[in-house]
Amino acid sequence: MPLVEPGRKAPAFTSKDQDGAAHRLRDFAGRTVVLYFYPKDDTSGCTKEACAFRDQHPEFSKMDAVVLGVSPDSEKSHRKFVDKHDLPFTLLADVAPEGGEPPICAAYGVWQEKSMYGRTYMGVVRTTYLIGPDGKVVRRWDKVKVPGHAEEVLEAVRAVPSA
Protein backbone atom coordinates (compact mmCIF):
# COMPACT_ATOMS: atom_id res chain seq x y z
CA MET A 1 0.00 0.00 0.00
CA PRO A 2 1.16 3.56 -0.61
CA LEU A 3 2.15 5.99 2.13
CA VAL A 4 -0.81 7.84 3.65
CA GLU A 5 -0.94 11.42 2.41
CA PRO A 6 -1.48 14.37 4.78
CA GLY A 7 -5.14 15.35 4.92
CA ARG A 8 -6.29 11.71 4.66
CA LYS A 9 -7.86 9.74 7.48
CA ALA A 10 -5.26 7.68 9.33
CA PRO A 11 -5.85 3.93 8.87
CA ALA A 12 -7.46 2.23 11.87
CA PHE A 13 -5.45 -0.40 13.72
CA THR A 14 -5.45 -2.64 16.76
CA SER A 15 -2.19 -3.95 18.18
CA LYS A 16 -0.71 -5.19 21.43
CA ASP A 17 1.95 -3.28 23.33
CA GLN A 18 5.01 -4.35 25.31
CA ASP A 19 2.72 -5.54 28.14
CA GLY A 20 0.22 -7.41 25.95
CA ALA A 21 -2.44 -4.69 26.27
CA ALA A 22 -4.42 -3.96 23.10
CA HIS A 23 -4.46 -0.44 21.66
CA ARG A 24 -6.62 0.93 18.87
CA LEU A 25 -6.09 4.19 17.07
CA ARG A 26 -9.63 5.23 17.99
CA ASP A 27 -8.67 4.98 21.69
CA PHE A 28 -6.77 8.24 21.12
CA ALA A 29 -9.57 10.16 19.38
CA GLY A 30 -9.42 13.86 20.27
CA ARG A 31 -5.67 13.71 20.96
CA THR A 32 -2.65 14.35 18.78
CA VAL A 33 -0.79 11.12 18.00
CA VAL A 34 2.85 10.74 16.96
CA LEU A 35 3.03 7.36 15.22
CA TYR A 36 6.63 6.53 14.45
CA PHE A 37 7.69 3.43 12.56
CA TYR A 38 11.16 1.97 13.08
CA PRO A 39 12.84 -1.19 11.79
CA LYS A 40 14.06 -3.09 14.87
CA ASP A 41 14.32 -2.90 18.65
CA ASP A 42 17.72 -2.25 20.21
CA THR A 43 19.60 -1.48 17.01
CA SER A 44 21.75 1.63 16.78
CA GLY A 45 19.51 4.06 14.86
CA CYS A 46 16.29 2.76 16.40
CA THR A 47 17.70 3.12 19.92
CA LYS A 48 18.83 6.69 19.20
CA GLU A 49 15.38 7.54 17.83
CA ALA A 50 13.52 5.97 20.77
CA CYS A 51 15.78 7.71 23.29
CA ALA A 52 15.24 11.06 21.54
CA PHE A 53 11.47 10.61 21.83
CA ARG A 54 12.00 9.52 25.46
CA ASP A 55 13.98 12.67 26.20
CA GLN A 56 11.27 14.89 24.65
CA HIS A 57 8.40 12.89 26.18
CA PRO A 58 7.65 15.36 29.01
CA GLU A 59 7.09 18.07 26.38
CA PHE A 60 4.79 15.83 24.32
CA SER A 61 2.87 14.98 27.50
CA LYS A 62 2.37 18.67 28.36
CA MET A 63 0.46 18.98 25.08
CA ASP A 64 -1.50 15.75 25.74
CA ALA A 65 0.15 14.22 22.65
CA VAL A 66 0.55 10.45 22.49
CA VAL A 67 3.78 8.89 21.22
CA LEU A 68 3.47 5.38 19.78
CA GLY A 69 6.42 3.45 18.34
CA VAL A 70 5.67 0.66 15.86
CA SER A 71 7.92 -2.13 14.60
CA PRO A 72 7.48 -5.76 13.54
CA ASP A 73 9.15 -6.94 16.76
CA SER A 74 7.28 -9.03 19.35
CA GLU A 75 5.74 -7.85 22.62
CA LYS A 76 8.58 -9.57 24.48
CA SER A 77 11.24 -7.78 22.40
CA HIS A 78 9.47 -4.46 23.01
CA ARG A 79 9.35 -5.11 26.78
CA LYS A 80 13.13 -5.66 26.86
CA PHE A 81 13.70 -2.51 24.75
CA VAL A 82 11.46 -0.40 27.00
CA ASP A 83 13.13 -1.69 30.16
CA LYS A 84 16.68 -1.31 28.86
CA HIS A 85 16.20 2.31 27.75
CA ASP A 86 13.51 3.44 30.23
CA LEU A 87 11.05 4.34 27.46
CA PRO A 88 7.94 6.06 28.87
CA PHE A 89 5.69 5.50 25.83
CA THR A 90 3.92 2.61 24.15
CA LEU A 91 5.57 0.35 21.59
CA LEU A 92 3.18 -1.58 19.37
CA ALA A 93 4.07 -5.09 18.20
CA ASP A 94 3.15 -5.22 14.51
CA VAL A 95 4.01 -8.87 14.00
CA ALA A 96 3.43 -10.23 10.50
CA PRO A 97 1.15 -13.22 10.11
CA GLU A 98 2.77 -16.34 8.61
CA GLY A 99 3.87 -15.43 5.11
CA GLY A 100 2.35 -11.96 5.31
CA GLU A 101 3.22 -8.36 6.02
CA PRO A 102 3.03 -6.53 9.35
CA PRO A 103 -0.52 -5.12 9.06
CA ILE A 104 0.00 -1.62 10.50
CA CYS A 105 3.23 -1.11 8.57
CA ALA A 106 1.46 -2.22 5.40
CA ALA A 107 -1.58 0.02 6.01
CA TYR A 108 0.67 3.06 6.44
CA GLY A 109 2.85 2.17 3.43
CA VAL A 110 6.11 1.84 5.37
CA TRP A 111 6.68 -1.86 4.57
CA GLN A 112 8.83 -1.47 1.50
CA GLU A 113 11.61 -3.08 -0.47
CA LYS A 114 15.00 -2.15 0.93
CA SER A 115 18.52 -3.11 -0.02
CA MET A 116 21.72 -3.61 1.91
CA TYR A 117 25.03 -4.92 0.60
CA GLY A 118 23.39 -5.72 -2.74
CA ARG A 119 20.62 -7.83 -1.17
CA THR A 120 16.99 -6.73 -1.44
CA TYR A 121 14.44 -7.55 1.24
CA MET A 122 11.20 -6.21 2.68
CA GLY A 123 11.41 -4.08 5.79
CA VAL A 124 10.28 -0.96 7.61
CA VAL A 125 11.33 2.36 6.13
CA ARG A 126 11.75 4.77 9.06
CA THR A 127 8.69 7.03 8.82
CA THR A 128 6.75 9.21 11.27
CA TYR A 129 3.12 10.26 11.02
CA LEU A 130 1.54 13.11 12.95
CA ILE A 131 -2.18 12.42 13.38
CA GLY A 132 -4.44 15.25 14.50
CA PRO A 133 -7.23 15.05 17.08
CA ASP A 134 -9.68 14.57 14.18
CA GLY A 135 -7.94 11.33 13.12
CA LYS A 136 -6.44 12.80 9.95
CA VAL A 137 -2.78 12.80 9.01
CA VAL A 138 -1.39 16.28 9.61
CA ARG A 139 2.17 15.59 8.49
CA ARG A 140 4.45 12.76 7.42
CA TRP A 141 8.23 12.47 7.63
CA ASP A 142 9.71 10.02 5.09
CA LYS A 143 13.03 8.17 5.35
CA VAL A 144 13.66 9.83 8.70
CA LYS A 145 17.15 10.86 9.69
CA VAL A 146 17.30 10.47 13.49
CA PRO A 147 19.36 13.50 14.63
CA GLY A 148 16.96 16.34 15.45
CA HIS A 149 13.87 14.39 14.36
CA ALA A 150 12.09 14.20 17.75
CA GLU A 151 12.58 17.94 18.20
CA GLU A 152 11.16 18.64 14.73
CA VAL A 153 8.12 16.46 15.48
CA LEU A 154 7.64 18.26 18.80
CA GLU A 155 7.57 21.63 17.00
CA ALA A 156 4.98 20.25 14.57
CA VAL A 157 2.84 18.99 17.48
CA ARG A 158 2.91 22.50 18.97
CA ALA A 159 1.36 23.79 15.73
CA VAL A 160 -1.54 21.30 15.71
CA PRO A 161 -4.87 22.88 16.73
CA SER A 162 -6.35 21.07 19.72
CA ALA A 163 -9.68 19.26 19.44
Q: Residue 146 phi/psi, 5° resolution?
A: -65, -45
CB atoms near residue 97 (< 10 Å): 8
- Catalytic residue check, 105: no
- The continuous run of DSSP H or E covering 14 comes out as strand 14-17
Burial group, residue 57, by CB count within 10 angstroms (0-12, 13-18, 19+)? middle
Given the residues 46, 82, 137, 154, select the one marked as catalytic. Answer: 46
Distance linking the first and last C-alpha atoms of the chain:
29
- Give yes or no for a contact between 94 and 102, defined as CB atoms under 8 angstroms apart: yes
**Active centre residues (catalytic):** 46
